[in-house]
Structures are given as structure tokens and as C-alpha cells.
Amino acid sequence: MPLSRIAAAIDGLPRTALSRLAYRHQAVEWRYSQPGAGARTVGGRWNPPNSFATLYLGLSVEVAAAELERLAERAGREVTDFMPRHLLEYEIELDAVLDLTDDAALDALELTKADLTSADADSCQRVGEAAHHLGWEGILAPSATGTGNIVAVFIERLSPQSRVEVRSRKHWETPQDMR
């Protein structure tokens, strides 16, 4: 779908407020003061490489663990190769989230469930680009792992009343710590 049609479809969807805890695994040496900087450079499901800062958060600890397992699998490595990690717990309050857990929203954007888990993230990245351009604060979507949901937060689009704050940090030394 052309970017202009994606933008028009997004404009017709309701903005959802999201207030909850969310989680992220992160390398222990990564600096917390630069949320979304890694995804800005390398890209992610909802933002292309060299684009905009996007902080990817799982809506449960299980989603964060599944995302780490998927990262290791895609790299052809063991989870232990990525240890130690930090599990960060965030408190988030967002006002303008595009909710793609809703089948009607997926249909409006001509996205399929397969698009959400595909190794080819082009169609999702086009939706993310359009949502970011239109000023949305993030995207709520099923995790590409098939476990739960994620929220991709567009850091530069946060409104003054929105919040994305680290509440706590837990150390994962081994894969057993992830459970």
C-alpha cells in the first residue's frame, strides 16, 4: 500500500491511551539515557534503519523473555551468549497509540497477522513511518514472537503529559533468571 494511503488509513483510526507497566531486556552496558537510540540506527519492526528513536517494550516479562530468545535465534546464537542482561520495568502513560491488536485496524492498513511476525518488516515499517510522521506516540501490536503484545514508543513524538520512565531493574545472569 502506498505511504499516502497508509497515512490516510491511520488518520481514520482512533487514538488509544495506554497507561501500564512494560518491560525490556537490555545489555548491561547499554546507557539508559538514550531510549530508542539502538533502534534508530539498526531499525526494528516499526521503524526502518537510520530513522527515528523507537523504544520497544513488551507488555509482560514473558514477552521480554520471548523477545530475547527470538533475538538469539535470529542471530544463530544461544541466549547465554547475550547474558548478562537487565530486565527494565517501565511505567508508561501514552495518549496517542495506534492499536494494532484490533483486527479492524489491521484490515484498514491491509496488514495481516503474517506481516506482524515476518522476517520482512517492510510493511510494518511503512506503517510505523506514517504513524510517526502523523504524530502518534507509538504502536501497540502483537509481538513478533507470538507471545503477548508489545508497544513501540516513538520517543520524539511524546506529548508533554506522556511518561516513559524506568521504575526498576532486575539482573538476568542466566536464562533461568528470565522465568
Tens of pLDDT, residues 85-100? 999 999 999 999 999 9
**So what's the architecture of 3-172 in CATH?**
Alpha-Beta Complex (3.90)
Distance CA 172, CA 19 (A): 26
Where do the domains of the chain lie? 3-172
Q: Is the pLDDT of residue 35 over 80?
A: no
Three-state DSSP class for residue 70: helix
Distance CA 120, CA 82 (A): 23
Predicted TM-score (pTM) of the model is 0.94
Half-sphere exposure of 87 (CA within 13 A, CB side): 23
The residue count for the chain:
179
- Give yes or no for a contact between 28 and 84, defined as CB atoms under 8 angstroms apart: yes
Three-state DSSP class for residue 110: coil
Tens of pLDDT, residues 61-116? 999 999 999 999 999 999 999 999 999 999 999 999 999 999 999 999 999 999 99
Tens of pLDDT, residues 151-164? 999 999 999 999 99
- Residue found under cell 508497544: 151
